[in-house]
Amino acid sequence: MKLIAENLTIDRGGRRVFQDISFHLESGSALVVTGANGIGKSSLLRTLAGLVPLAGGTLRLDGGEEDRATFEHAHYFGHQNAVKPSLSVLENLEFWMSFTNAVQTPDYEGAEILPRQALDTLGIAHTCDLPAGFLSAGQTRRLAMARLLVTARPVWLMDEPTSALDTASEKQLLGLMNAHLASGGMIITATHTDLALTSKQTLNLQASDAATQTIGDAFS
């Protein structure tokens, strides 16, 4: 399985965010996207997730399920936790499990676990019957993280994934990310944190002028 991006160009709000970005990523590998704040890292992830349309270029996943779009193979773990405060912790996770379809391919053998087990794995099983609005910032982030575990999808798109997590939770997240890579999954993450991922490449976004952002040090 290989994710191939060729000459990606993104416009948002009438402004060119970046253009002509190309990369490829194979099963079991991570791509760490770096660059200054506002350079377009989040826009790139949102484009890969199907939330922002491409202004130019092509994106495809070779070896994925042919009847699914590229973004349907991915989980998007963004800045917003996508948690409904009035629902219980368990109800939030059960909704996401029912809303997202699992994807399995020959190169990806990701396992999925039941919602209560996922909450237990992340150390918040004791909150399962509480309204999600009662959670702390770190607990809410772990609830959002649990979505990655209850539905198997080969591509994880992660925007500052360690935000609001304490040291122990960061270590646990890193373990989950490396386990995902070991199962043949892929990760594309925008982060300012030096993550000890088992197999990673770096895509450094740089601004060439006020309107255009281009790739720099594509793989290092």
For the segment 191-200, what is each residue's pLDDT rounded down to a tens digit?
Answer: 888 889 999 9
What are the tens digits of pLDDT across the range 128-152? 999 999 999 999 999 999 999 999 9
DSSP string of the chain, one letter each residue: -EEEEEEEEEEETTEEEEEEEEEEEETT-EEEEE-STTSSHHHHHHHHTTSS--SEEEEEEETS-TTS-GGGGEEEE-SS----TTSBHHHHHHHHHHHSPP--BTTB------HHHHHHHTT-GGGTTSBGGGS-HHHHHHHHHHHHHHS--SEEEEESTTTT--HHHHHHHHHHHHHHHHTT-EEEEE-SS----SSEEEEEEEESSSS-EEEES---
Please tell me the pTM assigned to this model: 0.89
pLDDT at site 217:
35
Q: Where are the domains of the chain?
A: 28-51+68-198
Above 70 in pLDDT, residue 171?
yes
pLDDT at site 105:
86
In the predicted model, what is the mean pLDDT of residues 181-195? 92
CATH pick for 28-51+68-198 out of 3.40.50.300, 1.10.3720.10, 3.40.50.920, 3.40.50.720: 3.40.50.300
Measure the CA–CA gap between 212 and 83, rounded to whole angstroms.
Answer: 34
